[in-house]
Amino acid sequence: MKKVFVGLSGGVDSAVAAYLLIQQGYHVECGFMRNWDASVNSDIAGNPTINDDMCPQEVDYMDALNVANKLNVPLHRVDFVAEYWHDVFSVFVEQTKNGLTPNPDILCNKHIKFNAFVDYAKKHGFDYVATGHYARIVNVNGEPHLAKAIDQNKDQTYFLVQIPKDVLSMTLFPLGELTKDEVRRIALEQDFVVAKKKDSTGICFIGERHFKEFMTNYIPKNAGDIIDIETKKVVGKHHGVMFYTLGQRKGLNIGGDRGPWFVVWKHLKSNQLIVAQEHHPYLKTTSAIIKRINLLSDTLTFPIQCHAKFRYRQADQDVTLDLIDDKLVVTYPQGIKAVTPGQEAVFYLSNICIGGGQIEEIYLNNQPLRTWVEKEIIDEI
């Protein structure tokens, strides 16, 4: 009997994933990943950032234990605090300080769930690992490929794009053929304590806390001016340019009857947040350079006409992809809004995820957007 090590998070999806694998005849054991310790991970003043009695992680563990007991399977509590701090959170904080908008969930999947967790599974004799992600592994010409879930609204391949290609052959995604409604129904039928539990949002250990407020434990607020790109006038105040993202509309708190306003650029040197109204040409770019690439297929021939997502749940965008040295060049002459340095670009051929990487630089008409802004705007302010 094949042995599967299931990541049990304390949510409904991983609970149903474990149940389905048992029904399919696998020997199932579960692992709860402990990624955060408030007594170890402290703020810039050295104080713990989350009290243990507040931490949603402990609530999740008890829910995971309840499900494991109901399924009559062992639950390993696996400690990845050091790995998470070094490979995920520290990287996330440093890149955010530098004005990027990284995605910690993608880093977590790369370094923790499909690296450290996989290593633990191998050392303990498991044949496969499984999670409650909405994705599929499909066979193409004898090779496993990452593919979109049947439930396109819940598909999570965007967050899985950085997992090592060689892990695909030992990975199971039991929910890939199901809709979220079907998963909830199964959980209710099995009377799981998590059947009606709300889906988690944001970074797992923060829970429902306000993200910007939490991040000020690590990145001091540095208030500054919000500048209208057209008039060069101050239209508001920000709390630190690193806390905003390109294309952002909500939370700018710009008064007056003009608007809506959108973030065009974050200028760290002058500590100014540059904004524009809806149809300004700087809100769209036409190409980008992608670094830290991870290709999930060995049979790609460049250039490629394919689809891309530059953020989660974005509609598929038509792009042309080329490989130059160790970076990808993606072009989209039709123009796309809010392509943001630091975020992930993920590429697809039909429903197959062929890979992706981190957006390094964005261009408008073959010139970096930062150049347009700094030459034509910043110098005039």
Name the β-bridge partners of 260: none
Question: Going by C-beta distance under 8 Å and a sequence separation of 6 or more, which residues neighbour residue 182?
Answer: none
Question: Going by C-beta distance under 8 Å and a sequence separation of 6 or more, which residues neighbour residue 372?
Answer: 282, 364
Antiparallel, parallel or unpaired: β 3-7 and 27-34: parallel
Question: Where does 24-98 have alpha helices with state H?
Answer: 56-71, 81-84, 90-97
Greatest distance between any 2 Cα atoms in the chain: 70
Q: Report, as residue numbers or ranges, the catalytic residues.
A: 108, 204
User: Under DSSP, is residue 48 helix (H, G, I), strand (E, B) or coil?
Assistant: strand
If we measure between CA atoms, which residue out of 10, 25, 132 comes closest to residue 69? 10
Cα separation values, 37 from 55, 81, 108, 204, Å: 9, 7, 16, 12
Distance CA 341, CA 95 (A): 10
Cα separation values, 80 from 10, 33, 63, 172, 193, Å: 17, 7, 19, 21, 26
If we measure between CA atoms, which residue out of 180, 181, 191, 188 comes closest to residue 69? 191
User: Under DSSP, is residue 294 helix (H, G, I), strand (E, B) or coil?
Assistant: strand
Cα separation values, 107 from 188, 270, 342, 360, Å: 32, 30, 12, 16
Question: Where does the chain have alpha helices with state H?
Answer: 12-23, 56-71, 81-84, 90-97, 104-108, 117-123, 157-160, 180-189, 211-215, 369-376
Distance CA 252, CA 34 (A): 35
Question: Going by C-beta distance under 8 Å and a sequence separation of 6 or more, which residues neighbour residue 315?
Answer: none
